[in-house]
Amino acid sequence: EREEKANISFMSFDLERDCGDIDVACYSIEGGARAQVEVRGWLHPRLGECTLHFGVLSGPRSGEWKSPLEEKSVQWPEGVTAIDGKACQFRLKQLENHLQGMDFSMPATTKKGDANGEDTIEPSIAGISFVLKNADGSEWFKPKSGGNASARFTSTGRFKGEWAQIADKIVEQEVTWDCMSLKRRYENCLEFVDEWEKQSEGMTMRKMRSWNTLVHVDSSKAVWSRMPSMPVFEVPDDDDIKASKEGFWSWMFVWQRFSFQRLLTWERNTCTQPRMLAGTTNQITLRMAELWKAHPRCRMWIRWTLATMGRGGSAGQQIRDEILVIMHGHNIKEIHGTYYEQWHQKLHNNTTPEDIGICRAVIKYLQTDGNMGEYWKVLGEHGIDKERLASYSRPITTEPYMVQTDKGRLIADFERYLGILRSVHDALDLQLALDHARSVLPGDLQGKLQGICDMGGTGFANNDEGHGKFLKIFEARQHMLAMLNSREIQPHVIKELLILDFSLETQQSVLVQGMSSENRMVQLCDQLKCLVTSLVGHLPMEDELQAILADWTALAGECAQQKWNGPVESALLLKAMVDRTSRVVGELCDKCQVLMGPKATFLGEQVGAPKRNIDVFVDEVLRGTSLIAVSLCLQRLEPVLRSLAHLPPWQMISPVDKPVQGEFRLIDKMLNIQDKVFETPTVLLSGAVSGEEEVPDGVVGVLVRSAKEAPDILSHCAVRARNFGVLLATCFDPAISAKLAEEFEGKWVEVRCKADGTLEVEAKPRPEGDAAKATAVAEELQKAAATEVKMNLADDLGCKWCITPSEMTKAGVGSKSLNLALLQPKLPKDILTPQAVALPYGCMQKSLCDDVNNESVLKELEKVLSKLQPKTSNEDAQFIFEEAQILIGAMKMPESLKAAMLEAMTAVGGEQGEERLKMLFKPRDAWEAIKGVWSSLFAIRPWVSLAKAGRSFHDLNMAVLVQELVEAKYAFVLHTVNPFTHDKDELYGELVAGRGETLVGNFPGRALSFAMKRGGEPRVISFLSKSVALHTQHCLIFRSDSNGEDLEGFAGAGLFESVCAEEDKPGFQRLHRMPIITDANYRKDLLRRIAETGWAVEKAFDGAPQDIEGCVDVKERVFIVQSRPQV
């Protein structure tokens, strides 16, 4: 409760010697004008009334004290007395429940946040630092962690984000503590981890799968079910990182990685005996192994953290003992100020991993008969120079000298000593790791690993040799991953295996990076399968990776040999698998960037790390992992597949017949420029286009840089582009988009779509009529701004509550309902439509005017929407619409509506001999879905679209088409005239597994796309690369059916929501179990049936080209759920 109240800062401290604990809460009062601080201690009764000995911190990140009484603006409690120029004391007050405390307050100011940040409150002092003493002054005590307790109130220099308290403690320790060492850092990390695990005990954990389950390929055909066999486990977005605790572990890793890179000190004013460091290292690495097993969600981070640490073990004391043995055995005197004695003193007091580099440099010096150049060269290779040697708490300021002894024996002794140093500090040397792990490894695995150690490193003469080494490493890794994913494995075995595996992963990545000329499909597919297998072993909670691995295992081998239905379809299927793998690995890399980047930047700035180290931090981490190796293999495979499948470098989502001209501009995301108006015709080269955006005014063409960030052809943005004649195309070749950006930015260009599916961009002279065009655009904007905004909320247009298909007319429903009503009697008997009724235009208004809603909702809604003015900004409109949606959500269902829906459904069932609609009607679920459709009227997209078209909200009407939700095995969309080639004799279609929302909504990946000429055979253009299939539930669907398509200048398609009474169940797709993928004859027959269905629908509408949505149900029956004239 106290922590929740502390909106400025909260810090708690466990006190040493079981003295209790104390916390400091700082929160705002008087509307943020002042800050109140409460210090509360739960102190052991033996201490009596304790005294707080404290000072004010002199700056946001300073540990320096200054006298509290100098801070005249702070209202200190009576009884604060000065002790010296920097400290004061206060006898803590006795409070209820055995508490002791102190309160004070101070002025505060509010700092405005940036566009994405919240306002912050800054108290007038940065914070306080303190220790305590007991009643009689005989005992002083402080936090268990050592040093003073520091509670900072300022947000300056503090991490803003999840786990901010951990970040503050890390920076406090690294920046302000007088004493710090590697051992101390490991101990602090152990404390954080122990506390985290206490907080995580209540976390729901999924049962871990065995290794065989993770890599198992189920070759049986998929049987449709309402519940997917590989469901998507969803965590609410806002709680995702919190629930998984990856936010915490990414902090631990970034912190320890900084230490590993020596961006944090390894020793400051401390003396750490080597055996003590080795003991602590052993303790923390074993703890990491325990946590790795217990927390599968965090395995990647824990493994990476473990890899930044030494091995530990029992050789720590030997570091101190053996250097003396060497010195005495070779009569090296312990004379103060000489090189070997200075190094001996460092080793005795503070051994660190840098001693490995020093020892290697000494050996090289002796081997080259005293060549100082070689000595400094080896030190430089380990990042050590004179300044670094002199900075140790036991500095090394002199150079080595040749000792009068048996040189060969001295070198041998130092090489043996190097082995002792490496056994404690160097966890990632493969031979060393193998020697340490032999006792826990089966003999055959030892043989495999020794073979890798003996294969001469990661160099190779040709790609065959490199590929052979790669596969040899994978064989050993696969054996170890099976052991690691065994439920019986013990922490000490996990530790050894993880260290070995990390070394092998690094070697694999180096090999892949070296095989830059590899372009053979078989070898690249082998490498990808191996790498994805390893990722699955370390990321067992990433279910989609398991689905991807199963597909690679079942399908990639035959495709790579071009034996899967011939070279073209082999390449197309591999291309789909490559696209999906690339997307998932990209998302993992993006997650790493989000979790690590801000932390590395913050910590680096606080400790003064070089900017270059901060800038490349995430990239350097990823380059040592399988993620970068996967990325490189995918990159090498892409051009090979595109060439085999004869794929053009561009996909025309909204082609144009004539060339378009405009100024060539680069943007990061189209979502970021929704309010912008381009007064000059503009061609955009854009980063991410999700498909939800509007095409900004003045834009004549949008070229999307990458297929990974491109919209679907049926996304909202694509539909709008086609409606307005705007070019929208996706580039599949990064080199082409990079060249366009370099050559044409800021220039006037002409863009032409060519018949072969390519696109041509050429610089042209800028036309002189720009000023006139700008004036015309301004006039259009003025027209939109002058348009009266008035939403019809009370006129029910004289409608009935609910109507059957025979009652549907253009005056009462939109084209979805009307077209289906007209279509049904004209279709062949084997083409079905779902049973349906409709809530006509005016039904929402009729419900608002009903007694159950008139007073409570209608009047409030009219008041809210009256705030919409012609010049209301999109941002302000968004807030108004959110209020309106809440009010729509509060509406109650009129009894008359419920009765009318039942009556209409009964009538439809009677006509068709089966009351399927009535059976599925559940009034409560139905009402929530109806309100969801109506709510979508009050949204920013129709507002922007209406303004662009110069139309009023008053022009817009919404009907709701109520249909049975067909249990869809596949869903499809058809264009009876190919939208890319405009060939009237060729139909184009797209198909996905499950419900069609993954096709028309913003779901990543491509559909199975095909084309078919009349009288011909279907030709596959692309295979499925979608992540998810939506499994429909047996219920009703409530579909928005506006009059948008009938309004001049305004296209309503894709603007409004359709809502299922029950949510779909998403499941990850596994291509190798889908007959549409694996059975060529089934695929050909089904696509032909679907295409013929499209032409039958076109014929029913007198030959007018149609955009058609439909599905194939679990009984292989074809349903048409929507048809409208093709744009």
Ramachandran sector of residue 993 (left: φ over 0; alpha: ψ -120 to 50; beta: rest): beta
Whole-angstrom distance, CA of residue 275 vs CA of residue 424 = 9
Whole-angstrom distance, CA of residue 596 vs CA of residue 1101 = 57
Taking the CB of residue 206, how many other CB atoms lie within 10 A of it? 11
Q: Which of 716, 975, 1031, 1072 is catalytic?
A: 716
Taking the CB of residue 98, how many other CB atoms lie within 10 A of it? 12
**Greatest extent of the chain over all pairs of C-alpha atoms, in Å:** 112
Whole-angstrom distance, CA of residue 450 vs CA of residue 697 = 66
Whole-angstrom distance, CA of residue 429 vs CA of residue 427 = 6
Whole-angstrom distance, CA of residue 175 vs CA of residue 602 = 13
Whole-angstrom distance, CA of residue 959 vs CA of residue 1056 = 11
In contact, 1029 and 993? CB cutoff 8 Å: yes
Question: Is beta strand 88-91 parallel, antiparallel or unpaired with respect to 93-94?
Answer: unpaired
In contact, 637 and 631? CB cutoff 8 Å: no
In contact, 51 and 83? CB cutoff 8 Å: no
Cβ neighbors of 507 (< 8 A, separation 6 or more) are: 430, 452, 458, 473
In contact, 1028 and 1070? CB cutoff 8 Å: no
**Residue 478 burial by Cβ neighbours in a 10 Å radius (0-12, 13-18, 19+):** middle
Nearest to 870 by CA among 793, 953, 956: 953
In sequence order, the β-bridge partners of residue 786 are none
- DSSP secondary structure letters along 931-974: HHHHHTTSSHHHHHHHHHHT--GGG--EEEEEEE---EEEEEEE
Q: What is the DSSP letter of 707?
A: G
Nearest to 28 by CA among 4, 59, 57, 5: 5
Q: Distance of CA 499 to CAs 430, 459, 544, 1039, Å?
A: 9, 22, 26, 56
Lookup result for tokens 């065959």: 464
Whole-angstrom distance, CA of residue 384 vs CA of residue 377 = 9
Residue spans of alpha helices (H) in 657-769: 716-724, 734-744
| Token pair of 698 as six digits | 């003045």
In the chain, the amino acid numbered 42 is W
- DSSP secondary structure letters along 142-154: -BTTSS-EEEE--
First to last CA, the chain: 59
Task: Please state the φ and ψ torsions of residue 924, each to the nearest 5 degrees.
Answer: -65, -50
Task: Please state the φ and ψ torsions of residue 562, each to the nearest 5 degrees.
Answer: 60, 30
- DSSP secondary structure letters along 431-450: HHHHHHHGGGS-HHHHHHHH
Whether 716 is catalytic = yes
**Residue 530 burial by Cβ neighbours in a 10 Å radius (0-12, 13-18, 19+):** buried
Nearest to 651 by CA among 720, 727, 568, 740: 727
Dihedral (CA of 252, 255, 261, 265) sign? negative
Q: Distance of CA 419 to CAs 130, 174, 266, 340, 422, Å?
A: 45, 31, 21, 18, 5
Known catalytic residues are: 716
